[in-house]
Amino acid sequence: SAVISQKPSRDICQRGTSLTIQCQVDSQVTMMFWYRQQPGQSLTLIATANQGSEATYESGFVIDKFPISRPNLTFSTLTVSNMSPEDSSIYLCSVALGFGEKLFFGSGTQLSVL
């Protein structure tokens, strides 16, 4: 089992600014993931956050726009940089405890960009 604390839960930001989302897990986990969920849409994987190495980004997502840190096995941050209204979404962090195991999710960050 894993309990994930994600913050902030929501924010309203001005275009051109950046927001950093934090994700804290109550146990050490190898695999952490960041998802984006645009309004009315499914979950889209942004990147896999690896401890001690660069994050692995999915097609369509780049490090300059979504820099990720993973300083240890219990914590990760996702920054949404130079925001535009198109970045308005729910951002979710999640962890997996093994192959084929269920994902545990944070409560999500509802981001609105004006």
Where along the sequence are the contacts to another protein (CB under 8 A)? 31, 33, 41-43, 45, 48, 90, 92, 94, 96, 98-108, 110
Nearer to another protein, 12 or 82 (CB): 12
Nearer to another protein, 99 or 114 (CB): 99
> 86 in helix, strand or coil?
helix
Pairing of strands 109-113, 89-96: antiparallel
Residue 16 Cβ, how far from another protein at the closest point, in Å? 26
Residue 21 Cβ, how far from another protein at the closest point, in Å? 13
71 prior amide bond cis, ω within 30 = no
Alpha-carbon separation of residue 48 from 34, 67, 112 (angstroms): 7, 11, 23
Nearer to another protein, 13 or 45 (CB): 45
